[in-house]
């Protein structure tokens, strides 16, 4: 079964915005730290942001001030608002869950504890 399903990706021009969403199972959403990472072709996995159960957020330096992570507890949905996008932001974006927020932000989460969806493509053109 799919426990994390991303949506909202697409193509935008430099300076544009996108809002990504992630539908999670109630169990995952209520138990794990939630976050986002991305991976571009030929690049390492890059953690972007996390949010824990009490709403505390963490951001990678590359997206601070531009991206905002939030969670909707009533609908078990995670969001990532992305503003001021540049071509360097082009990548597949993955919704992620892990017992430790630090593993998501480091991009080092892995099974069986780390979980992520199939990803959604974001392309930013110049």
- What pLDDT, on a 0 to 100 scale, did the predictor assign at position 29? 96
CA quadruple 71, 77, 80, 5: dihedral positive or negative?
Answer: positive
Residue 105 has pLDDT above 80, yes or no: yes
Burial bucket for residue 32 (CB in 10 Å: 0-12, 13-18, 19+): buried
Sequence-ordered strand ranges (E) for the chain = 4-7, 10-13, 18-24, 33-39, 46-51, 57-59, 67-72, 77-82, 91-98, 115-116, 120-125
Give residue-wise pLDDT tens across range 6-18.
999 999 999 999 9
Query: Mean of the pLDDT values across residues 20-44?
Result: 97
What share of the chain in percent tops pLDDT 90?
A: 98
- What pLDDT, on a 0 to 100 scale, did the predictor assign at position 90? 98
CA distance 121 to 117: 12
């Amino acid at each position: 079964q799919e426990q994390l399903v991303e949506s909202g990706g697409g193509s935008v021009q430099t300076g544009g915005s996108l809002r990504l969403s992630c539908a999670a199972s109630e169990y995952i959403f209520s138990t794990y730290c939630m976050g986002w990472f991305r991976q571009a072709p030929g690049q390492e996995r890059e953690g972007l942001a996390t949010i824990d159960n009490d709403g505390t957020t963490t951001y990678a330096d590359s997206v601070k001030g531009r991206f905002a992570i939030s969670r909707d507890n009533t609908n078990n949905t995670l969001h990532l608002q992305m503003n001021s996008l540049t071509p360097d932001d082009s990548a597949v974006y993955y919704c992620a869950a892990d017992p430790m927020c630090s593993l998501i932000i480091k991009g080092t989460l892995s099974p069986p504890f780390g979980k992520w969806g199939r990803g959604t493509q974001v392309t930013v053109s110049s």
